[in-house]
Amino acid sequence: MSFNVEEIRAQFPALKQEVNGRPLVYLDSAATTQKPQAVIDAIVHYYQHDNANVHRAAHALSGRATSAFEDSRRVTAEFLGCANPAQIIWVRGVTEAINLVAASWGRSNLAAGDKVLVSAMEHHSDIVPWQLICAERGAEVIPVPVTDDGEIDLQALEALLDEHVKMVAVNHVSNALGTINPVQEIAAKAHAVGALCMVDGAQAIAHWPLDVQQLGCDFYAFSGHKLFGPTGIGVLWGREALLEAMPPFLGGGEMIDRVSFDGTTFNRLPFKFEAGTPNIAGVIGLGAAVRWVQGLDRGSAEEHEQLLLRRCDELAESVRGLRRLGPERNRVGVFSFLLEGTHPEDLGTLLDQQGIAIRTGHHCAQPLMSRFEVPGTARASFSLYNTMDDVEALFAGLAKIQEFFA
Ligand code: PLP
């Protein structure tokens, strides 16, 4: 199977539009990916034909909705290399997944004097939930330094690890730099001192196939909307024994076994963590996204994305005053930069006028911005539907802006 980017693009209706009179160049997939027709169709089909609540009624529509809902769980488990679909917990996204683990696992496992290590390149979603639970439990959140190249400083991590560390939380790929972190090695280091390792997979999930067993982490989370699926739905995967031992996160319907004023008992996994009516259309849409991705030649897609980044790096060399952040290699999806004499916000606006969508600002990674002593960056982010023409358009756009300011 060879990778045909035009065939892929043709499946994304939102990419076929003009913005400000120019063909859209969408370079903001790290914020959210566009959706293929297959995902849009699955959501429309559910609402047009099967709309009903899941797990509760004896009627046909509920049966169909439940079977599509649970089928999504099954394909998602398979997608992550997990044999047991009960370890796939539906959440709103990575943010909720980390809050769930911090609140549920953290409240019953963290005590005064304990430490949670998070890298200094984490998204706020992988910092603040740990700060909240650590403040409650008298534990401490310790940042793991980032090198000048934009990688987690593994020697510093080693030096910080001791028996007081109970959790090491890192992202698989940095949303602000694109750095691919060695999570397998980090999980092994965490385990060597008896700590757990939670991986935020938000920026990794769309770029290559992964296997949670192989990674060796204890929790892995991703958001559907970064994998060509809908917003408001995501996945928490956890080791079964850990999930079994953890108390519920939210209380309500679905997560109970029996409720009485003498004491309530809780449902089995995964329902123990899924209180209330779930995002049924979101789950079905995510299942369609997973199937769509499974139908791709992922090796070729990955190669294609790497070629786009390499071309960015080449073109960047001849742009006066361009400073790129993040490692040379070991990077995926993200080209994060500053342009001398231009504020990133202005860059974003001026590129948008040319139909080019990028993101600017701190990318919800303020500690990382402080580390590099920058207020923010301009970030072009790539997905498998981007073309070399998109890269050329970005650099032509930057050249125009430089001319304008010259
Ligand atoms: N972690 C990383 C690395 C991200 O890039 C993002 C979103 O940009 C998140 C966490 C939060 O994801 P969500 O807003 O889907 O919960």
Q: Where are the domains of the chain?
A: 5-31+297-405, 41-294
Question: For position 3, what pLDDT does the model report?
Answer: 82
Please give the CATH topology (third level) of the domain spanning 5-31+297-405.
Answer: Aspartate Aminotransferase, domain 1 (3.90.1150)
CB of 171 sitting under 6 A from ligand 1: yes
Band (pLDDT 50/70/90 cuts) for residue 189 is very high
The protein residue with its alpha carbon nearest to ligand 1, atom 8, reads 31
pLDDT per residue as tens digits for the range 267-289: 999 999 999 999 999 999 999 99
Question: For position 57, what pLDDT does the model report?
Answer: 79
The protein residue with its alpha carbon nearest to ligand 1, atom 12, reads 94
Residue 119: beta bridge partners?
Answer: 144
| Distance in angstroms (rounded) separating the CA atoms of residues 342 and 205 | 33
Give domain 41-294's CATH architecture.
Answer: 3-Layer(aba) Sandwich (3.40)
Residue 63 pLDDT > 70, yes or no?
yes
**Matching fold, domains 5-31+297-405 and 41-294:** no
CB of 99 sitting under 6 A from ligand 1: no
pTM for the structure as a whole: 0.98
Q: Are 52 and 64 in contact (CB under 8 A)?
A: yes
pLDDT per residue as tens digits for the range 191-235: 999 999 999 999 999 999 999 999 999 999 999 999 999 999 999
| Distance in angstroms (rounded) separating the CA atoms of residues 60 and 50 | 8
pLDDT per residue as tens digits for the range 128-176: 999 999 999 999 999 999 999 999 999 999 999 999 999 999 999 999 9
pLDDT per residue as tens digits for the range 364-382: 999 999 999 999 999 999 9
| Distance in angstroms (rounded) separating the CA atoms of residues 180 and 328 | 11
Ligand 1 atom closest to 225 (CA): 15
Residue 276: half-sphere exposure toward Cβ, Cα within 13 Å: 8
Mean pLDDT across the stretch 75-86?
Answer: 98
CB of 122 sitting under 6 A from ligand 1: no
| Distance in angstroms (rounded) separating the CA atoms of residues 52 and 49 | 9
Residue 377: beta bridge partners?
Answer: 361
Ligand 1 atom closest to 95 (CA): 16
pLDDT per residue as tens digits for the range 328-341: 999 999 999 999 99
Residue 320 CA to ligand 1 centre (angstroms):
32
Question: For position 49, what pLDDT does the model report?
Answer: 98
Task: Please state, for a pLDDT cut of 70, what percent of the chain lies above it.
Answer: 100
Mutate to test the pocket of ligand 1, among 91, 173, 175 (most ligand atoms within 8 A of CB): 175
CB of 221 sitting under 6 A from ligand 1: no
Residue 125 CA to ligand 1 centre (angstroms):
7
- 75 token code pair: 């394909």
8-state DSSP, 48: I
- 211 token code pair: 């296997």
CB of 200 sitting under 6 A from ligand 1: yes
CA dihedral over 221, 102, 379, 14, signed as positive or negative:
positive
CB of 179 sitting under 6 A from ligand 1: no
User: Which amino acid belongs to residue 167?
Assistant: M
CB of 181 sitting under 6 A from ligand 1: no
The protein residue with its alpha carbon nearest to ligand 1, atom 5, reads 175
Say which residues have a Cβ less than 8 Å from residue 230's Cβ, sequence separation at least 6.
35, 39, 43, 224, 279, 281, 282, 285, 286, 289
Residue 293 CA to ligand 1 centre (angstroms):
20
Question: For position 406, what pLDDT does the model report?
Answer: 81
Task: Please state, for a pLDDT cut of 90, what percent of the chain lies above it.
Answer: 98
Residue 81 CA to ligand 1 centre (angstroms):
22
Question: Which residues are catalytically annotated?
Answer: 364
Question: For position 255, what pLDDT does the model report?
Answer: 94
The protein residue with its alpha carbon nearest to ligand 1, atom 6, reads 202
Residue 1 pLDDT > 60, yes or no?
no
| Distance in angstroms (rounded) separating the CA atoms of residues 270 and 255 | 9
Mutate to test the pocket of ligand 1, among 200, 205, 235, 381 (most ligand atoms within 8 A of CB): 200
Computed over every residue of the chain, the mean pLDDT equals: 97
Helix axes 344-352, 388-405, angle to 10 degrees: 120
pLDDT per residue as tens digits for the range 237-251: 999 999 999 999 999
Band (pLDDT 50/70/90 cuts) for residue 2 is low
